[in-house]
Amino acid sequence: MSTKRYFDLLGIPPTKNEKIIKRAYRKKAMKYHPDRNPSPEAKSKFIQITEAYDNILLALEQANNPRSTQRRQNTSYRSTRTTRSRQRTQQRSTNYRRQSGTQDNDKEERVKSARARYERMKRQEAEKNEKYFRNITTGKRWKQFMSVVIVSSLLCFLITIDLLYLPTRTIHTNIQKKNIHISYAGSNGSETSPVMFENGQKAWVSLDFIGKADRHFMYLERSLLMKDIKYVKYWRNNEWNYYVPDYSLIGSFPWIPIILLFPMFTYFIKDRTMIFSICYHTTMYAWPIIILLLMLSNDRWAHIITLGIL
């Protein structure tokens, strides 16, 4: 049987990726395993896919390391030659036994052999997964992960408290720079443009609000701890006119705090599953960048260290 036929039995195109091959074999084996599928056809199918799996792995090993494979084949050939004469003497009795109904026994033996190979593969996969799980949940890597969890959760708590519960402070300012040639859709559908205020802070404000504010004194209502702009406002006709800056913490609340809780969620689903593995690596490689960007923007790191004094 050609190698392509073996791949067809596993239901995948020809490939050298052993992970794809093992995944396809595991899927087929679970479907036709005698313990799961009692139909007579399942036994034959189980034998075929197991033999196909073994032959594919053997072909890949021969392609990757032909010398060692050839030595093993030579050794096997010598041992086979020593028993060939014995096999010849037993051939007649074997043929007779097969003719008298031993084909079913031979099939059962092949099923047992295929089942043993499948169970061995499952044990190897389980041992490999256990080793991988211990590797990422112990030692230095787990300490790094817990550091991300703690910092991200603490930052989530501080942002939530600062935006929702701590008092705000209002400062007088004016727009120092604006670029009305750059505009994007804001939260309420109006065109939004970046501006810089006299105190050095930046915000995205609608063009309509900028045009109205140019004729009045402007104020920034900021959070107490991190000095984030909650509202841009001006006084007109004996009342305050407010605008929540787009693309800001308060404008995107509560999505940023929810995102920061992702590492904590990963910690609580700690288990030997693919979901935990994906969340773990996402936390390890993506969340430090997110935390760094949040801390550097608006100099939040300095405001947190000085408890909002600076």
168 and 193 in a single domain? The answer is yes
82 and 151 in a single domain? The answer is no
Residue that is last in its domain, among 119, 136, 153: 136
CATH number at residue 53: 1.10.287.110
Residue that is last in its domain, among 87, 111, 136: 136
Q: Give per-residue pLDDT as tens, 222-275.
A: 999 999 999 998 888 788 888 899 888 988 889 999 999 999 999 999 998 889
Q: Give per-residue pLDDT as tens, 71-97.
A: 555 554 454 554 554 454 455 445 544
Residue 192, beta-bridge partner list: 184, 206
Q: Do 224 and 162 contact (CB within 8 A), yes or no?
A: yes
Specify the number of domains making up the chain.
2
Q: What is the pTM of this model?
A: 0.68
Say which range, 55-69, 110-124, 127-141, has the weakest mean pLDDT. Answer: 55-69
Residue 310 lies in a domain: no
Instruction: Name the residue with tokens 């609000």.
Output: 209
**CA 57 to chain centroid:** 28
Q: Give per-residue pLDDT as tens, 26-42.
A: 888 888 887 777 877 77
- The boundaries of the domain holding residue 125 are 3-136
161 and 296 in a single domain? The answer is yes
pLDDT at 157: 96
Percent of the chain residues past pLDDT 90, beyond the cut: 32
Q: Do 70 and 17 contact (CB within 8 A), yes or no?
A: no
265 and 236 in a single domain? The answer is yes
Task: Look up residue 123 and give its two tokens.
Answer: 């044990």
Say which range, 122-131, 173-182, 279-288, has the weakest mean pLDDT. Answer: 173-182
> Higher-confidence residue: 72 or 171?
171
- Phi then psi for 202, rounded to 5 degrees? -120, 155
Distance between terminal CA atoms of the chain? 76
Residue 275 lies in a domain: yes
- Which range in 52-61, 103-112, 207-216 is most confidently predicted, on average pLDDT? 52-61
